[in-house]
Structure 1
Amino acid sequence: MLGVVPKRWATSAADASSNSSIKTSIAGRSRFYKQVGIKSLNVPWDATSTTDGNDNVKSPISAGVDGTQSATGVHHIPLDNDTISLIKMLKPRCPGVDDNCWYGVTLDGRKLSTPMGQTLVVPSETLAMMIAAEWDSQLKQIQPTNMPLMTLACTTLDQAALHPKHYRDEAINFLRTDTTCFLADPTEDRLLHRRQKQAWQGLHDFCCDRLGGSSPTTALGIEGILMTRKRGSEKPQTGLPHPEILTELATKWIYSLDAWQLVALNSIANQAKSFLIAFAILESNGINISNNESSGVVACPFPDITKVSEACRVEEEFQISCWGLVEGGHDYDRLNCNIQLQSANLFSKTILLENEY
């Protein structure tokens, strides 16, 4: 067990159930459990559709922001689950690994469920411990925003494993509108242009080395808006016209990922507004499943997550250097950026390290 909460802060599961009519909001529900732990469980594709009765704790976190399961972006579990597809998406794609050990989180000895009603189970004892620690750190009230690893795990099980196309398409869209490919016009803002080049040139060199030897297309100032416009049947989608080989290899790489890495990719890309930044992080963690040819000469430009955060916030930090920091605004943005990047990186790396040869 990870810990015990003082009785004055804890209520029983029965009390929580009886007060469910007034405690169904996504955040702020009183902590209803005393002890948190982890438990070795079966693979998720053997018990994916529903939880098994009294042995599970219904998740106090809803799938939608409105407290229901019907919010925008929430995809429901198909009635005809394909077990083969689930195995393909949920089994970590680490060469040489035949069997994985799976673990769940327990609240007062009962297995925790995901917002969509599945048993929460992950292919890493360390990750399970970290998710359990997030639950144990909830004091008087449950705050889902303070549980980023729990969010990533549930997104994998409830969404990405069952609806991978949506997450693959989202990742590809980030490549077309990658923020690191839009630079300020040096004739209009020379200092910002210089900072962008310093922050992103190493990233572009790394991605060029790993993705077919072609550099991503970049645009300056208003040129970027013009280049991304949809133009007739020859350009059916908006976005920068990256070299064909780069787009093909990036798409192949995306399709090579399991659901865990796909969620990490999208989480980083969403925070950074950049597929290339997310690609560089996962590549440096050891994701090279598609066996793309590369010289391996160009090192990852991000030795740590601090450098990643700096690359994500070039324009914001430039404005702060010019006009000053707004307390309660810029500082919170920095903190949230670091939390999201660190969580997704740790989520990806932990599963990889624990499922090596």
Structure 2
Amino acid sequence: MFHLRASVFKPDSMVVRQMATLKRFYRKTNILSSGDQYEVTLDQRKLKTPRGKVFEVNNKPLALAIATEWDSQVDTIDRSNMHLTALASTTLDNPHNHTKLDMVNYIVNYLETDTILFQTNDSGELYNLQLKEWDPLIQWFCDRFQLDITKTLSIAAPSVSSQTKGILARHLLSYNFNAVQGYTYAVDVLKSVILALATAERVISTEKAVSLARLEEEFQVSFWGNVEWSHELSKQDLQSRLSAAILFVHLNSSWTTSKPKHEELNSV
């Protein structure tokens, strides 16, 4: 039985202070191989994390993707849009000293506040929309992990059994620390464990996941209209954050596909 405890993930204050835009000070980016690690360089200087560690990742595709983030900056460096860099930095610095189990506990307990498990009790258009768009994914989640979970039609949290939490925890613990960091970020972006897992397993696209996470907001907009620039910017920002999170999961977990899950569990 897993001991499941809630955890609150807050951005590191040092990271927040360094989110301001800076003038671009380098001409080109590159990656260097160092054993089984890959470092990102800006001209001849090694990229560092906010806490001064050498910025290195354990696979070339991720290093290339992060180098591309830096290379895409034009006159200024806007760190707030460099999501892969932020994820890798947080993983390397681990400012709150979270273990993999801490993050798994956070995700598992988040299921009790999952956006798509809270549905309206009004049998109107919104209810029908939730029924059509959300219920199939709830059913997929139950079938995929062989568990039972019921949505709620009130403000009361849905009932999530310890057995359900245990099944989900075992699945997440089969991933490495970095991949679980990506899952945590995806859950925070979508406010939904179910949508995050469905996106990671390619059941839905990132665009669809964001649309489903914003279903009620989109429904209200269809009636009352919206401030177009604000609405679209918010949606695009969520899509870019989610895309980075899912890419981070995939690029950090490809090696686990051939590793028995019980072997990884025994190492926790």
1:182 to 118, 121, 124: 118
Corresponding residue pairs, total:
241
The residue number in structure 2 matching 1:200 is 134
1:217 to 147, 150, 155: 150
Task: Give the TM-score normalised by structure 1.
Answer: 0.63
> What is the CA distance between 1:145 and its match in structure 2?
1.2
The residue number in structure 2 matching 1:280 is 198
> What is the CA distance between 1:149 and its match in structure 2?
0.8
Gaps of 5+ in 2: 1-16, 259-268
In 2, are the aligned partners of 1:161 and 1:259 still within 8 Å (CA)?
no
> What is the CA distance between 1:109 and its match in structure 2?
1.9
> What is the CA distance between 1:323 and its match in structure 2?
1.2
The residue number in structure 2 matching 1:140 is 75
DSSP-derived class of the 1:329 partner: helix
> What is the CA distance between 1:315 and its match in structure 2?
0.6
Greater share of residues in helix: 2
Deviation track 1:273-331 (CA, whole Å, cap 9, x = no partner) reads 1111112233x16xxxxxxxxxxxxxx3x1x2222122111111111111112123211
The residue number in structure 2 matching 1:110 is 45
2:248 pairs with 1:248: no
The residue number in structure 1 matching 2:27 is 34
Deviation track 1:76-125 (CA, whole Å, cap 9, x = no partner) reads xxxxxxxxxxxxxxxxxxxxxxxxx3211011222211112211111221
Change (3 A) 1:356 1:248: closer
Deviation track 1:110-154 (CA, whole Å, cap 9, x = no partner) reads 221111221111122111111111111222222101211111111
Change (3 A) 1:348 1:203: same
Gaps of 5+ in 1: 1-23, 43-100, 229-239, 286-299
> What is the CA distance between 1:195 and its match in structure 2?
1.0
* Distance (Å, rounded) in 2 between the aligned partners of 1:356 and 1:275: 21
The aligned amino acid for 1:38 is: I
| RMSD, aligned CA | 2.2
The residue number in structure 2 matching 1:307 is 208
Change (3 A) 1:313 1:26: closer
Structure 1 runs of 4+ with >6 Å offset: 354-357
The residue number in structure 1 matching 2:220 is 319
* Distance (Å, rounded) in 1 between the aligned partners of 2:249 and 2:29: 23
* Distance (Å, rounded) in 1 between the aligned partners of 2:249 and 2:78: 23
DSSP-derived class of the 1:153 partner: helix
Q: Which has the larger radius of gyration?
A: 1
1:131 to 62, 66, 71: 66
In 1, are the aligned partners of 2:175 and 2:256 still within 8 Å (CA)?
no
Deviation track 1:185-214 (CA, whole Å, cap 9, x = no partner) reads 134xx1111111212112111111122331
In 1, are the aligned partners of 2:176 and 2:253 still within 8 Å (CA)?
no
The residue number in structure 2 matching 1:173 is 109
1:332 to 229, 233, 243: 233
